[in-house]
Structure 1
Amino acid sequence: MAAPPQPPTADPRSGATGTAPGVVADPLESAARRTGLLGRPRWFTTLFGTDIWERFSFYGMTAILVLYATEDTDRGGLGMSTGDATLLHGLYMAAVFLASVPGGWIGDRVLGARRAVLHGGVLITAGHLSMAVPVTGSLYPGLLLIACGTGLLKPNMASLLSAFYDREDRAGRDAGFAVFYMSVQVSALLAPIVVGALGEGVNWHLGFGAAAVGMAAGLFQYVRGSRHFGDTGAAPERFATPAERTRVLRTGLAAVTLAVLVYGTDAALGTFRIAHLMALFGLLCVVAPVICFWRLLRNPLLTAVERVRVRTYIWLFLASAVFWALFLQGGSAFALFAKHATDREVFGRTVPASWFQAAVPLFVLVLAPLFASVWTRAGERVPTAVKYAVGMAATAAAYLVMASAATRAADGVRVSPLWLLLAFLLLAAGEVSFAPVGMSASTAIAPATFVSQMVALFWLAGALGGGIGGNALKVSGDRVPGPGYFLALGAAALVTGTALLVWRRSLTRRLGV
């Protein structure tokens, strides 16, 4: 398993010197920064510790969100229909990814990556605390706060991690991101078990409260360890001018005001539905990428080579949207299949449906070091497009497995949990092939002062995918997804993976990664 490289002593791109200009680094401090937990750099263990707790809160909350929303009101739930609950899940996921666009801009141009991560963590903690309050109305402001905080934290966390890598070390970057991605799966494994046991077994709001404790622990870890970052991420490389800040603030306030007026009126008339809000986010998921790519390509700071890379990246963006539309079904369609069509009896006890959400991180922990080793050994021989295609193939296989399971469950028979576990294993293989490689590629091709914004574009593909996936089950109209549903989505993955393989040489040449 490849360890991430040590912080560079001088990186004009990131400013990751660790000391002020003209000051000689203390050799004792330098040694301390190189010898963190398990021999890894202290900057890495700090980021790892923060992300592991943030992921605990994220995976814990999402493991019970749909189950809580569909639970009867007399049992503490919201009593939503399956379609509305999956729309809510898709809406939340889309909001998380959409928020990464302004979050990336704030990190790149206003706060710097380090402070952006801190402020994002505070918002996430506040959101989980809101959901822990046993009042039905507290769910929605809580989800909004978490979405805003995650949008601020995630792209800037990736930017901060990327700043410690040499820009040309592509194989090492891919392997390092894979190792980091593997590390945070530890909490993703534990979170559904802990939060699910508390939420399903005791009280839903107690489960949400456990997620809040996790994010608070992450904040403590981050504040305590940020002294090991040196100057990395302390400030933006290119501050936004006062005129730019004013323009962005006015545009944002105008958009929020308009949304509040429209949906406030909708609610006052008693006609509001989750689908109305999803329609807005669906529109934003389509429009926001177009605007972001257009503005980035028009920026005079980009060189001709960088413009070619960004234009070519659009194809990877679209492939990413397909992947996330399918992968995020694990928290909705797969969760409903686990609850209603899977035999969960083990030694006379019923396993909570939310516990199946721990399967993906468990399998990621097993697969990530293998994939990191393979990518390191392969080096430049396996380009990004091929790694994407591998992820798509694994995802398509997962949906074929689920189609077979749904066929067996068509008459109301509960099928063996091994079907679902095999599908989650294949989804995990897809995630390991796709997510860390995609994030790494985004930082590798990003123009020097736009790293967080490029990572935000990578997550914006998740917004588009989350919006599409959130509507898929609603359109099907099924309480539990059937074989046709899984076959159609599996076919979409197979077609996308095939296209990536066919055009791999052209994509590789134009991307340069």
Structure 2
Amino acid sequence: MASTLTKGEYEHRPSAAGPEKTFMGQPRGLVNLFMTEMWERYSFYGMRALLVLYLVAPASQGGLAMNAAMATAIYSLYNAMVYLLALPGGWFADRAWGARKTVAIGGTVIMIGHFLLAVPARVSFFVGLVCIAVGSGLLKANISTMVGHLYEDKDDPRRDGGFTIFYMGINLGAFIAPLTIGTIGQSVSWHLGFAMAGVGMALGLAFFALGSRHMSERSDVVPTPLSRAERTAVVRKSLTWLAVAAVAYGCVGLSGHFTLSWAMLPLTVLCIVLPSWYLLRMKRDKSLGTADRARMSAYVWFFAAAALFWGIYDQTGSTLNLFAQDSTSRTFFGIGFPASWFQACNPLYIMALAPVFAWGWVALSRRAKEPGTPAKFAVGLVLIGLSFAVMMVAQGIAVDGAKVSPMWLAMVYLIQTVGELTLSPVGLSLTTKLAPEKYSSQMMGVWFLAVTVGDSVVALLQQFGVSTDAPSWFASQGALALLGGIAIFVYRNKVKVLMGGVR
């Protein structure tokens, strides 16, 4: 591991001699970052495919025998925390460790977390989940930054292609994981499946270490290092808040009232309040100009739409995974397969359809027929709403022990993927366009906080006892998404005015 550098040290370092090492025209380091991300995503999605199924499995089958509501709440809160912790993950890289060191530490923490899940003990399981969430926050916020560092010139024509290759690694890992980890976890041993996820992350770390010499020196830089006084203040505040939490939970524990819900409920509320406060604080910043404040007002619309979208979409690993387990016939041409295999549908659809959408938007733009961003968001919400309308029908068929065809879930995932392709990449691009200069680096983290809010609302509903088995579960969320999509479409012209010319 190279030592962390300060910004000043980097600026005075002589450039490396010799031509740049490339692979198929791309910087050599892209191969290692691709493999690191692919194996990290393999571990993440492999574990996620098993998580809810393991939580609800009876003790006789090695599971934790939880009810569906608690399992869904844990899954949703875990997802929310992963994205919430990406903000401090970026902060650590910018102020303390640099991107490369932060990614290495994050990957190591993730690996430890997966191996803790492989230990057949309830305490180690939940400690492992915390480790994976913390490590993912550290890694997720910075590995994409390291890809960008490989290209010295922001106008490098290879840059977009490099990121396309990199993101293919995400979907490749996500596709393979349920087919392997899911199969072993459900058919052989849950804990062996979790251990496979740990091995996946270990392989990712190995590729990362082997490619160290091919990474950009900028990835070692701490852009704005903490001063001694700032470091002391951060440590003091962190210890204070940890002490407050320890005292609060200690009092609950000593009173004999501590339950898992006691631990989860404050975190769930925090995951809703903190991102909302953060966004509104930026919107009300009086130092912003009139145009920037109007654009931030427009961004609130898109943030709310994204939160609603991701709250539904991320149930692929929870409520839909349970539906696959309990109410879906899992045979294809007479061959049986485990419920976790359905989790491979989305990355497969993404790899097949993403190039088509990229070509389609360009083709429509050339003909001046490309829909605006509000219209694309409206379509995304309508499609995610329709996917739950389909689920409502499937749920109505699966009564009295009846099992529906696997094509129902395959259709649901296809509709959701098309919705994702109209909203997610568009939202990423829009975030960079609407971001005020003052918050240009923070806005991408704010976009991911929409996932935190959406998943946390689902977790909160489950903690309050809303049943996923009731017909109203899919119907109400689907209707809300449809109404949200219609509202954005109806008010799209007003939103465009607030956007100030940004498409």
What is the TM-score with the length of structure 2 in the denominator? 0.86
**Counterpart for residue 283 of structure 1:** 269
Counterpart check, 1:439 vs 2:428? yes
| Structure 1 alignment gaps of length 5 or more | 1-14
- Rounded to whole Å, the distance in 1 between the matches of 2:126 and 2:326 is 26
- Rounded to whole Å, the distance in 2 between the matches of 1:342 and 1:348 is 14
**Contact 2:389-2:475 at 8 Å conserved across structures:** yes
**Contact 1:132-1:205 at 8 Å conserved across structures:** yes
Q: 1:302 to 1:425 in 2, by over 3 A?
A: same
- Rounded to whole Å, the distance in 2 between the matches of 1:297 and 1:21 is 38
**Contact 1:387-1:433 at 8 Å conserved across structures:** yes
* Cα deviation 1:162-194 (Å, max 9, x = unaligned): 56689998x999887666434411110110111
**Contact 2:397-2:404 at 8 Å conserved across structures:** yes
Counterpart check, 1:190 vs 2:176? yes
- Rounded to whole Å, the distance in 2 between the matches of 1:105 and 1:291 is 18
Match of 1:458 among 447, 455, 466: 447
* Structure 2 counterpart of 1:425, one-letter code: L
Counterpart check, 1:246 vs 2:205? no
Cα deviation, residue 477, structure 1: 4.4
- Rounded to whole Å, the distance in 2 between the matches of 1:130 and 1:53 is 18
Q: 1:433 to 1:21 in 2, by over 3 A?
A: farther
**Counterpart for residue 488 of structure 2:** 500
Counterpart check, 1:136 vs 2:122? yes
* Cα deviation 1:321-344 (Å, max 9, x = unaligned): 111110111111101111111111
- Rounded to whole Å, the distance in 2 between the matches of 1:167 and 1:469 is 42
* Structure 2 counterpart of 1:151, one-letter code: G
Q: 1:471 to 1:497 in 2, by over 3 A?
A: same
Cα deviation, residue 276, structure 1: 2.2
**Counterpart for residue 318 of structure 2:** 332
**Counterpart for residue 209 of structure 1:** 195
* Structure 2 counterpart of 1:488, one-letter code: S
**Counterpart for residue 89 of structure 1:** 75
**Contact 2:150-2:216 at 8 Å conserved across structures:** no
Cα deviation, residue 218, structure 1: 1.3
* Cα deviation 1:78-133 (Å, max 9, x = unaligned): 11111111111112112212212222222233323333222211111111111112
What secondary structure does 1:271 align onto? coil
- Rounded to whole Å, the distance in 1 between the matches of 2:176 and 2:206 is 19
**Contact 2:30-2:150 at 8 Å conserved across structures:** no
- Rounded to whole Å, the distance in 2 between the matches of 1:228 and 1:447 is 34
Q: 1:59 to 1:183 in 2, by over 3 A?
A: same
Cα deviation, residue 418, structure 1: 0.4
**Counterpart for residue 397 of structure 1:** 386
* Cα deviation 1:3-51 (Å, max 9, x = unaligned): xxxxxxxxxxxx9xxx96696775622xx24x34xx4443443332221
* Cα deviation 1:453-501 (Å, max 9, x = unaligned): 32222222111111112234555643x5344321211112222222333
The count of corresponding residues between Structure 1 and Structure 2 is: 489
What secondary structure does 1:343 align onto? coil
- Rounded to whole Å, the distance in 1 between the matches of 2:290 and 2:223 is 21
Match of 1:59 among 34, 41, 45: 45
Match of 2:19 among 11, 17, 28: 28
Cα deviation, residue 134, structure 1: 2.3
**Contact 1:156-1:452 at 8 Å conserved across structures:** no
* Cα deviation 1:141-181 (Å, max 9, x = unaligned): 10001111111111223444456689998x99988766643
Comparing 182-191 with 20-29, greater Cα deviation is found at: 20-29
- Rounded to whole Å, the distance in 1 between the matches of 2:222 and 2:287 is 15
Equivalence map 1:461-472=2 (5 Å): 461-472=450-461
Question: Identity of aligned pairs, percent?
Answer: 38
**Counterpart for residue 400 of structure 2:** 411
* Structure 1 counterpart of 2:206, one-letter code: F
Q: 1:54 to 1:265 in 2, by over 3 A?
A: same
* Structure 1 counterpart of 2:325, one-letter code: K
* Structure 2 counterpart of 1:442, one-letter code: T
- Rounded to whole Å, the distance in 2 between the matches of 1:172 and 1:267 is 56
**Counterpart for residue 4 of structure 1:** none
- Rounded to whole Å, the distance in 2 between the matches of 1:491 and 1:164 is 45
Counterpart check, 1:386 vs 2:372? no
Equivalence map 1:151-162=2 (5 Å): 151-162=137-148
- Rounded to whole Å, the distance in 2 between the matches of 1:387 and 1:179 is 25
Cα deviation, residue 54, structure 1: 1.1
Counterpart check, 1:106 vs 2:92? yes
* Cα deviation 1:170-228 (Å, max 9, x = unaligned): x9998876664344111101101111111111111111001011111112222333433
* Cα deviation 1:377-414 (Å, max 9, x = unaligned): 44594444333333223212211111111111133311
**Counterpart for residue 12 of structure 1:** none
Q: 1:175 to 1:28 in 2, by over 3 A?
A: closer
**Contact 1:87-1:275 at 8 Å conserved across structures:** no
* Structure 2 counterpart of 1:28, one-letter code: P
Q: 1:328 to 1:101 in 2, by over 3 A?
A: same
Q: 1:188 to 1:53 in 2, by over 3 A?
A: same
Comparing 462-471 with 271-280, greater Cα deviation is found at: 271-280
**Counterpart for residue 4 of structure 2:** none
Q: 1:217 to 1:322 in 2, by over 3 A?
A: same
| Structure 2 alignment gaps of length 5 or more | 1-6
Q: 1:60 to 1:492 in 2, by over 3 A?
A: same
**Counterpart for residue 8 of structure 1:** none
Equivalence map 1:254-403=2 (5 Å): 254-293=240-279, 296=282, 308-346=294-332, 350-378=336-364, 381-403=370-392
**Contact 2:35-2:169 at 8 Å conserved across structures:** no
- Rounded to whole Å, the distance in 2 between the matches of 1:91 and 1:57 is 18
* Structure 2 counterpart of 1:288, one-letter code: L
- Rounded to whole Å, the distance in 2 between the matches of 1:499 and 1:42 is 47
Cα deviation, residue 281, structure 1: 1.8
